[in-house]
Amino acid sequence: MTERGFGGRRIRLVQGDITRCPADAIVNAANSSLAGGGGVDGAIHDAGGPSIMEELDRIRGQGCPTGSAVMTGAGDLPAKHVIHAVGPRWRGGGKGEEQLLASAYLSSLRLAEKAGAAVVTFPSISTGIYGYPVEKAAPVALGAVSEFLKAEAKAVREAQFVLFDRFTFAAYEAALGAL
């Protein structure tokens, strides 16, 4: 575990399974159709149970464009809310991916703030099947979250990144050290 403070708030990095980490809000790396999928999305739906998808079915018609997020209950997860954030697919870095990735994190934090969440748990959005290189995504994610914590956070006191493997953890640890 590694952590760093930002304006009386903190970012914490943990290697593990996001579905087992208690938080007020767990962020899901979702797709824009909110239809469920593999990776983090599949794990969250499996662990949280059918109530999450039932809520998504009711809001799916509104859609969720890349860079935005929606919120549901957390079902059987150790949280109150799941925030479904849609990150960008990697297309070489010249198609606005950095701004869209930062927006996915900021949209998530703004929903968490509105819900009064003190602890928000994130995966590494877009670095799985969407192909965003982890070493490029980590500074974007941590930069967006640290700026939010310093400038906008009232309810949110901790952003925890729960990273599944050692490689991803190491990339985020290096990026946190460089902030």
52 contacts 74 by C-beta, under 8 angstroms: yes
Which pLDDT score, from 0 to 100, does residue 159 have? Answer: 98
What is the 3-class SS of 93-128, one letter each residue? CCCCHHHHHHHHHHHHHHHHHHCCCCEEEECCCCCC
27 contacts 123 by C-beta, under 8 angstroms: yes
Determine what percent of the chain is predicted with pLDDT higher than 70: 100
Tell me the backbone φ, ψ of residue 131, rounded to 5 degrees: 75, 10
Which pLDDT score, from 0 to 100, does residue 38 have? Answer: 87
Domains of the chain, each with CATH number or no CATH: 2-178 (3.40.220.10)
Give the whole-angstrom CA distance, residue 159 versus residue 146: 9
Angle at 70 between CA 99 and CA 13, to 5 degrees: 65
pLDDT digits (tens, 9 = 90+) for 33-79: 998 888 999 999 999 999 999 999 998 777 799 999 999 999 999 99
DSSP three-state, residue 44 = helix
Parts of the chain with a pLDDT under 50: none
pTM: 0.96
Active site annotation includes 41 = yes
The catalytically annotated residue of 17, 24, 41, 165 is 41
